[in-house]
Amino acid sequence: QLQLVESGGGLVQPGGSLRLSCAASGFSLNAYAIGWFRQAPGKEREGVSCISRSGGSTKYADSVKGRFTIFRDSAKNTASLQMNSLEPEDTAVYYCAAAYSCDAAAPSLIYGVQYWGKGTLVTVSS
């Protein structure tokens, strides 16, 4: 079975931190760029961050720059999103995706999604 599974979501206070993980099963992530997306209640899905196939390039939405860090671990076939200084506005379901490449010009920050995870809920209480 080919799939992506997110984990690490939960409830956190403003100013706190969470680390989300995206694990691939049945295929290798090293052939794909990886993006993180989120969808808040009543809002459209937006791109949060993207990391290139090699891991040498990363991109972030303006709203999370300086607070979130994306990275990948080829040995574990995973990608992660470290979220610091969380704000209530960060509350959303977070999704990871495997794609052809990152694209800084695209609102989603990514091009050619091939696989989607089912999401993990992050709630920042205030």
In this prediction, residues 35-45 reach a mean pLDDT of 95
User: CA 100 to CA 19: how far, in whole Å?
Assistant: 24
**Residue 17: closest CA among 122, 95, 126:** 122
pLDDT band for position 106 (cuts 50, 70, 90): confident
pLDDT digits (tens, 9 = 90+) for 1-23: 889 999 999 999 999 999 999 99
Please name the residue that has the structure tokens 């995870």: 117
Q: Distance between CA 9 and CA 92 in Å, rounded? A: 10
